[in-house]
Homo-oligomer: A and B are copies of this chain.
Amino acid sequence: MSAEANSDTFREELWMWGQDDDKPRFLHTMIRVKDFDAALDFYIDGLGMKLMCKPFDVPARRVTATFVGFDSLEAGGCVEIVHLWDHEGDFTHGDGYGHFSVGTPDIEGTLARMVAKGAEVVVEPTVLIEGGPAVAFFKDLDGYQVELIQTKRTQ
């Protein structure tokens, strides 16, 4: 393919993760969800994430997906939310994958907000190691565990 022909097909919006990186970078972690809109509301309105791009279809895979995160695509990891067009029922969770983790300056307030959004508390805010931050766990609407770590000292 000639350089000219290639430049015709280049689509910058598809290179949202970078087109001139010189080293590897952590991009995101992916979860499949039953109710796409409910998951977006949970993570955006509840946890305070932002929509990183317009939800998009991948017809070849029969999925709709998007990315949510706290800052920008460059600053830290995002969560890819995927809806399978043909999947029925709940997703299953093995015993290998654990959770993803979010730092928050107000662990109690964040957990309360997530519970109001339908989260199930797994571990109430607890200082696991003396002198360290409080840590909590909840399950999201699809049963994925999310860890919260207090990232602001209040005492």
Our pick among B22, B98, B102, B133 for the contact of A26 (Cβ within 8 Å) is: B102
CA distance A94 to B11 in the complex (A): 34
Chain A 1-32 against B: per-residue CB contact (8 Å), 1 yes, 0 no? 10100100111001101111111111111111
What chain B residues lie within 8 Å of A80 (beta carbons)? 98, 101
**Nearest residue in B to A87 (C-beta to C-beta)?**
B95
In the complex the two chains form, is A152's CB within 8 Å of B19's CB?
Answer: yes
Residues of B within 8 A of A75 (CB): 75-76
- Contact (Cβ within 8 A) B14 A70: no
Taking a contact as CB atoms under 8 Å apart, the answer to whether A30 and B95 are in contact is no
Question: Which of the residues B60, B96, B130 comes within 8 Å of A9, measured between beta carbons?
Answer: B130
Chain A 38-81 against B: per-residue CB contact (8 Å), 1 yes, 0 no? 00000000011100000000101100000001110001111110
